[in-house]
Amino acid sequence: MAKPDRRIARTQEALKKALVGLMAEKKFDEVTIQDIADRANVNRGTLYLHYKDKYDLLDKLIESHFDELAALDEWACALNWNEALVPYFEYFEANFLFFSAMLASKEAPASFRSRLLASFMDGFKDEVDRTSGRNEGMSEDVLLQYAGSAYVSMIEWWIRSGMPHPPKVMAEQVGRLLERSL
């Protein structure tokens, strides 16, 4: 397998970072290719060498975050709720600008939130306990929708509120709530 060129990786990272920064300042529809290129300190042609347009850049940016979240899923299931959620909240904190633009902004694509919800619901599938008294007779779909929606809403609230609690505190409290639900 060929070794990735560091210059390409740096340029792509600069373009992604530029887009996130601009989305924190104005609506995505108002962001131009020239804005992105200027912020990334590259010329317009460089952006087109890596992406078809700003929509392609946004799609690739979203994909990279979903890939990183999926990597967290692989080992989190082996932990209890409180421990498992810490890396997620730390990830959301480390990528505050991106998640703020994608979740807390009225201009964010609704498809992002829907996809995030579906991702968490899928991750929660193995955690549903319908044998205990609290969930006996409950539909798995209802439980997953409830828990996933609650989790995404807590992330949105946390980000919109300027992350008033550290990731570990959020993980503990949200973990306790999810444990009660699932």
List the chain domain ranges. Answer: 77-181
pLDDT for 75 equals 57
59 near 154, Cβ under 8 Å? no
**Phi, psi values for residue 26, rounded to 5°:** -155, 170
Q: What is the pLDDT of residue 156?
A: 93
Query: Torsion angle, CA of 102/106/112/114, rounded to 10 degrees?
Result: 140
Quick one: pLDDT at residue 130? 63
pLDDT means over runs of 10, the chain (182 residues): 81 96 90 96 95 95 93 67 87 94 74 91 80 79 92 94 96 90 79
Quote the pTM value: 0.86
Is the Cβ–Cβ distance between 47 and 19 less than 8 Å?
Answer: no
Considering Cα of 63, then 125, then 174, then 103, what sign does the dihedral take?
positive
94-105-22-98 Cα dihedral, nearest 10 degrees: 20
pLDDT at 111: 83
In contact, 39 and 22? CB cutoff 8 Å: yes
- Rounded CA-CA distance 45/157 in Å is 39
Q: Is 72 exposed, middle or buried (CB count within 10 Å of its CB: 0-12, 13-18, 19+)?
A: middle
Give the CA dihedral 141, 145, 151, 156, nearest 10 degrees: 160
- pLDDT on residue 5: 84
Report DSSP state, residue 126: G
Q: Report pLDDT for 178.
A: 86
Give the containing element (helix H, strand E) for 64.
Answer: helix 54-76
